[in-house]
A = this chain, B = another copy of it.
Amino acid sequence: MSYFADIAVAPVLAFALGFRIMKISVIVAHPNPGSFNHAIARTAAAELEQNGHTVAFHDLHAEKFDPLLPFEEIPMKADVPPDIAAQGREIAEADGIVVAHPNWWSQPPAILKGWMDRVLRPGVAYKFGTAPNGEGIIIGLLKARAALVFTTSNTPADKEISLYGDPLEGLWKRCVWGFCGVKEVHRELFGVIITSTPEQRAQWLLRTRQLVSRTFPPG
């Protein structure tokens, strides 16, 4: 197989065999490149590539993503900086989305919140329409059929649900990806991270691979 040393074998094979090669955006939001969130994102990306898909990998902190939506960018027809426009085109055209972030205040970190504020623009991720009864409605514009969201926490899952209502579940499913038209959204909660053993973390990364392959299979 040394003929193939310089090209990506999996996509070629997938194409040859009639598999559907997908473009998947993987987004990680944690300030520590050694974080478990990064391990999740790298594991997901590796599994996707092994399945023959194309990965657009975004480490928002490494990219120094600026999360502040300026007033001038709010209007739908606003001119936006080239990097924001490029990220918008990429997420609009993605066949699938994978996100990994820590649970901070039952919400994503600010850098990821700002990514939503700036990249998921009207005209890019959704548009305004009118229902047959004349009511205003939101029409999702993202092409992705599925999104996987991994969140890590140091609050036990049962307490996140009973004490805080686990807002991340609804935020990602209904308010963000659902809003943008993504039909299938799975959110996976890993924790408690801080007291976890290497074995437990290995188990979570295995679970990551399984979820990724179930959601974005090779063919």
Contacts and interface: CB of A to CB of B under 8 A. Distances in A.
Interface of A: 31-32, 61, 67-71, 74, 104-111, 113-114, 116-117, 120, 163-165, 167, 170-171, 174-176, 179
Given A107-B113, A114-B110, A117-B110, A69 B31 contact: yes
Contact of A109 (B31, B104, B113, B167): B113
Contacts of A68: 31, 61, 67, 110-111
A131 B175 CA distance: 35
Contact of A106 (B61, B71, B171): B171
When all copies of this chain in the complex are counted, the total is 2
Contacts of A163: 174
Contact of A110 (B67, B170, B175, B179): B67
A7 B47 CA distance: 68
Given A164-B179, A174-B163, A69 B109 contact: yes
A58 to B, nearest CB: 15
B171 A107 contact: yes
Instruction: Rank and list the top 10 A-B pairs by shortest CB-CB distance, nearest first.
Output: A110-B114, A67-B110, A106-B175, A31-B71, A32-B71, A110-B113, A113-B113, A110-B110, A165-B170, A167-B167
